[in-house]
Amino acid sequence: MKKSTIIGSLTIAVFLVAGFFAFSESKIEYSDFGKASEIHKTCQVKGSWIKDKEAKFDATTNQFIFYMKDEKNNEMKVVLDGARPNNFEMAESVVAKGKVKDGYFHAKEVLTKCPSKYEGKGQDVKQSGL
């Protein structure tokens, strides 16, 4: 075999292996707080903000701290690196991406799902005849 064919084949193999590992690391599965506590990997937890518990931004650590209930009603303190997400107060549900560490959920990102301004308000729409 030619030397250039071997080098080309090795280069392709290296890129395929690197691509596989990059894809497997970027795949983040949904979980609940119980499972997230066991697996110690980055995951996504969907739930809701517990509004009657403290939610605050700590300027000294640049962290937003709040309490969340997952879809199985497990509660956990969530610490997000960064400021409070936009429209947090209006959120119907919250998705926190991160992992459980030191007894709380350490989030790298928090996404909020707010009520859509385009959803109907239960009013009848009358069509006009043209």
pLDDT digits (tens, 9 = 90+) for 59-111: 999 999 999 999 999 999 999 999 998 888 888 899 999 999 999 999 999 99
- pLDDT at res. 86: 83
CATH code of 43's domain: 2.40.50.140
Quick check: is 79 in a domain?
A: yes
Residue 119 binned pLDDT confidence (cut-offs 50, 70, 90): low
Question: In the block, which residue shows the tokens 């009358």?
Answer: 126
Report residue 41 as tokens: 């990997």
Quick check: is 124 in a domain?
A: no
Quick check: is 66 in a domain?
A: yes
Domain tally for the chain? Answer: 1
Count CB neighbours of 106 within 10 A.
Answer: 17
Quick check: is 8 in a domain?
A: no
Smallest Cα–Cα separation from 54: which of 46, 42, 43, 66? 66
Which residues, in sequence order, are CB contacts of 53 under 8 Å at separation 6+? 66, 67
pLDDT digits (tens, 9 = 90+) for 21-48: 655 455 578 889 999 888 878 999 999 9
- pLDDT at res. 125: 47
What residues make up the domain containing 59?
29-113
